[in-house]
Amino acid sequence: DGTDVTWNALRLARQLNNDGVEVRIFLMNDSVDLARDGITPPEGVEDMVAMTKDLIAKGVPVKVCGTCQQRCGVLKGQGYYDGAQYSTMAECSDWVQSSDKVLTF
């Protein structure tokens, strides 16, 4: 979106995870591109796809809106890479209801 909102959300998720806090990420709308290979970051900008993959490698569950896969992002219709889990609004609702805190960006 031309801002640092998503980058800062990933930075916070990384820090919380490093601090031992349980982190779960649900990607919707255009952020689903973070679960797709093929996005090249501009020169001098941290690779947010790589940041997302690093969080997955550290055990952070990343679920991605299945409906948004067809409707949103630069790479509309492209599937998600391994480790990013297709999900539903019902699963997002379950996560929200079972969470002590919910942050949205």
CATH code (residue 60): 3.40.1260.10
The domain total for the chain is: 1
pLDDT grade for 24, boundaries at 50, 70 and 90: very high
93, part of any domain: yes
Q: How big is the chain, counted in residues?
A: 105
104, part of any domain: no
Residue 36 near residue 76 (C-beta atoms within 8 A):
no
Worst-scoring range by mean pLDDT, 17-21, 23-27, 70-74?
70-74
pLDDT computed for residue 2 by the predictor: 62
Helix 5-18 / helix 48-57 crossing angle, nearest 10 deg: 20
Is pLDDT at 74 greater than 80 in this prediction? no
- Residues 6 or more apart whose CB falls under 8 angstroms from that of 97 comprise none
Residue 43: which domain range?
5-98
103, part of any domain: no
105, part of any domain: no
Q: Which of 25, 26, 34, 32 is nearest to 70 (CA)?
A: 32
Worst-scoring range by mean pLDDT, 45-59, 60-74, 90-104?
60-74
pTM comes to: 0.89
18, part of any domain: yes
**How large a percentage of the chain has pLDDT more than 90?**
67
Q: Which of 67, 7, 3 is nearest to 32 (CA)?
A: 67
What is the DSSP secondary structure assignment for residue 41, as one 8-state letter? P
Worst-scoring range by mean pLDDT, 66-75, 80-89, 93-102?
66-75
The overall average pLDDT reported for the chain is 91
Q: Which amino acid is at 61?
A: P
Token output for 63? 């679920």
